[in-house]
């Protein structure tokens, strides 16, 4: 595989890894039998949950590095190496993929061992917000990566990433519909109880 195609494949895998925790929650965690937790699997469940969340945060941080204009090390791959203009791909999210506060939080709580390790429920919300905001960025990025893959050797990874992004969008829509349905049912049951 040519070096450029390998870099594109690596970028695709990094995008995919941003959603590791979301896929863990959607495909595995919600299907766990509570009785299994009583049988002693709760520690393993928590460990894998934390590991996928941590991994997703690290992948998000890597994407932030990818969009930055300077390399920290000569073998780092950044958008401009592939002929991609970071600002056009970032679009409405600003000049950086992560805000300064988000990057500092990830550095302190995920990338470095500090006393600010933040693997708590609030970090799930932070990750979810970053990913929601990033969906259009990832869609534009995969389009640009396809253009950059002139040898067509990274098609497999690009297709997998596009499929994953589509699936994430479908899951988000389904959850949104479930929330709306639940709100509608709650409102309906409230009306029914006031009439009786």
User: pLDDT at position 194, please?
Assistant: 56
Q: Which residue has the tokens 């429920």?
A: 121
> Which residues contact residue 154 at a Cβ distance below 8 angstroms, ignoring those fewer than 6 apart?
1, 5, 6, 8, 9, 12, 145
In-domain check, residue 113: yes
pLDDT of residue 71: 85
CB burial of residue 38 (10 Å; 0-12, 13-18, 19+): exposed
Intervals of the chain under pLDDT 70: 36-40, 111-125, 186-196
What does the pLDDT read at residue 120?
58
**Is the residue at 192 inside a domain?**
no
**196 belongs to a structural domain:** no
Count of domains forming the chain? 1
pLDDT at 42: 73
> Is residue 186 situated within a structural domain?
no
| Domain contains 170 | no
Does residue 73 fall inside a structural domain?
Answer: yes
Give the pLDDT confidence score for residue 119 in this predicted structure: 54
Residue 123 is assigned to a structural domain of this protein: yes
pLDDT of residue 73: 87
Query: Domain of 36?
Result: 3-165
Q: Convert the pLDDT of each residue in 51-89 to its tens digit.
A: 899 999 999 999 999 998 788 888 899 999 999 999 999
């Amino acid at each position: 595989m040519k070096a450029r195609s390998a870099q594109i494949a690596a970028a695709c895998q990094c995008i995919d890894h941003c959603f590791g925790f979301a896929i863990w929650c959607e495909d595995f965690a919600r299907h766990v039998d509570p009785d299994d937790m009583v049988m002693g699997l709760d520690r393993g469940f928590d460990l894998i949950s934390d590991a996928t969340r941590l991994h997703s945060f690290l992948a998000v941080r890597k994407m932030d590095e990818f969009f930055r204009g300077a390399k920290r090390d000569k073998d780092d791959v950044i958008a401009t190496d592939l002929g991609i203009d970071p600002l056009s791909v970032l679009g409405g999210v600003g000049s950086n993929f992560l805000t300064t506060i988000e990057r500092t939080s990830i550095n302190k709580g995920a990338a470095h061992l500090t006393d600010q390790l933040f693997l708590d429920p609030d970090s799930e919300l932070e990750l979810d917000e970053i990913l929601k905001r990033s969906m259009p960025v990832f869609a534009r990025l995969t389009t640009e990566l396809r253009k950059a893959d002139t040898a067509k050797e990274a098609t497999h990874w690009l297709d997998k990433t596009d499929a994953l992004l589509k699936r994430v969008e479908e899951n988000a829509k389904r959850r949104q519909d479930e929330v709306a349905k639940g709100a509608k049912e709650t409102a309906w049951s409230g009306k029914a109880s006031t009439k009786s």
